[in-house]
Amino acid sequence: MNGLMGKILRVNLTEGTISEEEIPESIAKMFLGGGSLATKYLYDEVPAGVDPLGPENELIFMTGPLTGTPCPSAGRYSVVAKSPLTGTWAQANSGGFWAPAFKSTGYDGVIFEGISPKPVYLVCEDGKAELRDASHLWGLKTPETTETIQKELGDKFKVACIGPAGEKLVKIACVMNDIHRAAGRCGLGAVMGSKNLKAIAAWGTQKPKLADPEKFREVSKKQYDLIRDSMLKVGLETHGTNLLLDMVNVRGGLPTRNWQTGSFPNEERINGMALTENVLKDRVACFACPIACGRVSKIKTGKWAGKEGEGPEFESVVLLGSSTDVGDLNAITMANFLCNEYGIDTISAGSIIAFAMECYEKGILTKEDTGGLEIKFGDADMLVELTEKIGKREGIGDLLSEGTKRVAEKLGKGSEVFAMHVKGLELPAYDSRAVKITGLGYAVASRGGDHMTGYIQGPTFIDTPFLVVENSKIDDVYTPKPKDTKVLKDLEDALTMFDITGTCKFMGLMLDAKEWVDLISSVTGWEFGIEDFRKTGERAVNLSRAFNMRDGFSRADDTLPKRLTEEPMPEGPAKGQVIDQLDMLLDHYYEERGWDKKTGKPTPEKLKELGLDNVVQDLWK
């Protein structure tokens, strides 16, 4: 098979056995690879009702048909499992260099089943794979884990692993790769920890076969040129993703003090320019990426001076920073470093801390609960301390490591109104009261309160249309129209293709669908048109939705925190706004999607249209 290596590994951790499986071509053609192919396995093999941290859950790593090829940004993989944070289908995605290294072992992905009786790690080397004892790695942070393995196997091995948080089943634990890169969301590091799996080290010499290498080179070359011609590339390279902060703040949608307002007075102390001037040490790129939005940072002053690492990204700056009312970039950067070292999601970590601060402010959380700590908004040292406590499940961190939803359920007293999550996943760095259609995106995403499925923040908050769909224009950010729901659907279908192919969604802002279709065709040798591109994305979205529906989720779960639907934004450009039409938007969105308006399930007709006939009886029996 071209593009794909055509084989996956299946590792039964309970038994300690490893087998090899071919990917049937019919399955490859329908699901292509990456998050979509992994979801196909998960759907077929993990039934409803499974405990996410039990042996029946699977943890699936999958690269895409473009991963490891020299086209722009082709260094990504997806991790898929049922989430311990949300109980939904979950996918996390990451760049760096691990994914091309894994694919070069000769496998597109690996499925982990069961639970190992003792800590192990998987070594994949050029067509072979074995489980090794990881007792000596257990307890180590991400950098030490990676360095220890590389010392054992050689630097050429790339490592994906969990930190101490994953081992301790922190519900917001990540899978980390290349030390600093995170498959961050939904707590999949805890699934890995629950399986006693510490790491996957990979190295190989095999390359995906390209059906038409000449066309591939030609399309690729053109893409690199188009990207270098893009203003967004310049911005992202210069300031990293944090260049977005000014744009979100100016719309009054920058989550501040746990979303109590949308304008952060200290934004100039934490924006892209501030990061570039104060902590940036070097700009780094993922595999084959011409953008280089990665930041190597070093804290230069104060108590953490000399500390180095990667980050912070825009999302991290906002959730660790403005959301906790901390305008100290050194503290934000330090908290980010700790998230990477312990292996926890920066978005969720910052959001939980901000939530705890508001609970403390309102007397819902007291010194008795916190072990004497005063958890106040704006306290930079407390931000850093709580981040570490979550990573270690220490003191109050033990409670907080369960995620906002569970903390709110435990504390009660009205705290659920300002518990900023959807389906248990903490919301990212854009307050939907400032661009209402983004609220629909949070409400319907299969993995919970997520912005990356359709990233409708692109054409709205950051005013940059996506070229990969035909029209991503939103006319009025405060008055969403029925037709805007189609824009969201189209974006979700199109951007899912980046998770599938193993590339970066930023490319969807810079390159149109024709470019991607040309690339996929030249790699696979299949006749793959724009319609196939759209349908393959749509199929993946529907299958993840079906996973949730089969497991008891329904329209009632497609909702938003009351702070967004009932508390008017108190100031700024979005002053007075609430999301008051979510039901209307859901109706229109479901209609666009071919989903049943009452239950939220994909209709039998839609499922059959997408070739998901086997799903019909699961949902409609």
Write out the residues near its own copies by the rule CB under 8 A: 225, 228-232, 234-235, 237-239, 243, 246-247, 250-251, 272-273, 276, 462-464, 573
> What's the min distance (Å) between Cβ of 265 and its own copies?
15
> What's the min distance (Å) between Cβ of 229 and its own copies?
5
Torsion, Cα of 553, 556, 562, 565 (10° steps): 120
Half-sphere exposure at residue 391, Cβ-oriented, CA atoms within 13 angstroms: 27
> What's the min distance (Å) between Cβ of 464 and its own copies?
6
Considering the complex, state which of residue 312 and residue 458 has its C-beta at the smaller distance from its own copies: 458
Considering the complex, state which of residue 249 and residue 258 has its C-beta at the smaller distance from its own copies: 249
**Distances from the Cα of 63 to the Cα of 68, 93, 97, 400, angstroms:** 9, 10, 12, 32
Residue 24 class from Cβ within 10 Å (0-12 exposed, 13-18 middle, 19+ buried)? exposed
Q: Where are the alpha helices (DSSP H) in 393-481?
A: 396-400, 404-411, 437-444
Q: Where are the alpha helices (DSSP H) in 375-528?
A: 380-392, 396-400, 404-411, 437-444, 482-501, 507-510, 513-524
> What's the min distance (Å) between Cβ of 495 and its own copies?
19
Q: Which residue matches tokens 């405060």?
A: 478
Find out whether 363 and 353 touch, Cβ atoms under 8 Å. Answer: no
Token digits of residue 230: 């893009």
Considering the complex, state which of residue 225 and residue 566 has its C-beta at the smaller distance from its own copies: 225
> What's the min distance (Å) between Cβ of 268 and its own copies?
11
Q: What does the alpha-carbon distance between residue 133 and residue 401 come to, in Å, rounded to a whole number?
A: 27
Instruction: Using DSSP, state whether 296 is helix, strand or coil.
Output: strand
Output phi, psi for 203, to 5 deg.
-160, 145
Find out whether 471 and 3 touch, Cβ atoms under 8 Å. Answer: no
Considering the complex, state which of residue 32 and residue 248 has its C-beta at the smaller distance from its own copies: 248
**Distances from the Cα of 129 to the Cα of 290, 326, 344, angstroms:** 32, 46, 27
> What's the min distance (Å) between Cβ of 245 and its own copies?
10
Comparing CA positions, the residue from 341, 328, 405, 395 lying closest to residue 368 is 395
Considering the complex, state which of residue 228 and residue 392 has its C-beta at the smaller distance from its own copies: 228
> What's the min distance (Å) between Cβ of 618 and its own copies?
44
Considering the complex, state which of residue 280 and residue 619 has its C-beta at the smaller distance from its own copies: 280
Q: Where are the alpha helices (DSSP H) in 63-181?
A: 98-103, 142-153, 164-167
Token digits of residue 343: 């292996």
Considering the complex, state which of residue 117 and residue 265 has its C-beta at the smaller distance from its own copies: 265
Q: Give Cβ neighbours of residue 213 (< 8 Å, ≥ 6 apart).
A: 522
Half-sphere exposure at residue 590, Cβ-oriented, CA atoms within 13 angstroms: 19
Considering the complex, state which of residue 1 and residue 510 has its C-beta at the smaller distance from its own copies: 510
Considering the complex, state which of residue 42 and residue 477 has its C-beta at the smaller distance from its own copies: 477
> What's the min distance (Å) between Cβ of 482 and its own copies?
24
Find out whether 399 and 359 touch, Cβ atoms under 8 Å. Answer: no
> What's the min distance (Å) between Cβ of 236 and its own copies?
9
Considering the complex, state which of residue 222 and residue 562 has its C-beta at the smaller distance from its own copies: 222
Considering the complex, state which of residue 370 and residue 464 has its C-beta at the smaller distance from its own copies: 464
Q: Give Cβ neighbours of residue 301 (< 8 Å, ≥ 6 apart).
A: 330
Considering the complex, state which of residue 282 and residue 583 has its C-beta at the smaller distance from its own copies: 282
Token digits of residue 316: 């991290």
Residues shown for the chain? 621
> What's the min distance (Å) between Cβ of 249 and its own copies?
8
> What's the min distance (Å) between Cβ of 248 and its own copies?
9
Q: Which residue matches tokens 């499992």?
A: 81
> What's the min distance (Å) between Cβ of 292 and its own copies?
10
Q: What does the alpha-carbon distance between residue 226 and residue 468 come to, in Å, rounded to a whole number?
A: 13
> What's the min distance (Å) between Cβ of 250 and its own copies?
4
Q: Where are the alpha helices (DSSP H) in 412-561?
A: 437-444, 482-501, 507-510, 513-524, 530-550
Find out whether 423 and 89 touch, Cβ atoms under 8 Å. Answer: no
Considering the complex, state which of residue 91 and residue 223 has its C-beta at the smaller distance from its own copies: 223
Considering the complex, state which of residue 222 and residue 550 has its C-beta at the smaller distance from its own copies: 222
> What's the min distance (Å) between Cβ of 251 and its own copies?
6
